[in-house]
Amino acid sequence: MAKLSTHVLDLASGKPAAGVLVELFRLEASGRVHLKTLTTNADGRTDEPFLQGEEIPIGRFELVFHAGAYLRSRGVVLPDPPFLDQVSIQFGIAEAGGSYHVPLLLSPWGYSTYRGS
């Protein structure tokens, strides 16, 4: 089954990041189209994939992670404005039958991502 999923790890605490709001957009010539909003659970994962089925749409997408709100909710003191507030990851889906996992490894001062399985 094809799918698009994510998870968030809080590198500063060494734990999964629960309660991170994540939005999915499809990037089109006319602009961004909002597709779905999910929140990470206690395991730092969403309870369902953003996309799933026999096939998922080919195209350009963007995941927006509300990192600043998450960090503030955990008591992290951030400057105003925070260095990282919303983390946007733009990526392409080229295989309609593929599995795309786009994790976020997050700290108040940096992040990284990769295509997971």
Segment 23-68, tens digit of pLDDT: 999 999 999 999 999 999 999 999 999 999 999 999 999 999 999 9
Give residue limits of the domains in the chain. Answer: 2-113
Strand pairing category for 21-28 and 59-66: antiparallel
Q: How confident is the model at residue 20 (pLDDT cuts 50, 70, 90)?
A: very high
Contacts of 111 (CB under 8 A, 6+ apart): 67, 84, 87, 104, 105
**What would the pLDDT profile of 86-103 be if each residue is shown by its tens digit?**
999 999 999 999 999 999
How far, in Å, CA of 47 to CA of 30, rounded? Answer: 30
Task: For the domain covering 2-113, report its CATH number.
Answer: 2.60.40.180
Answering whether pTM is above 0.85, one says yes
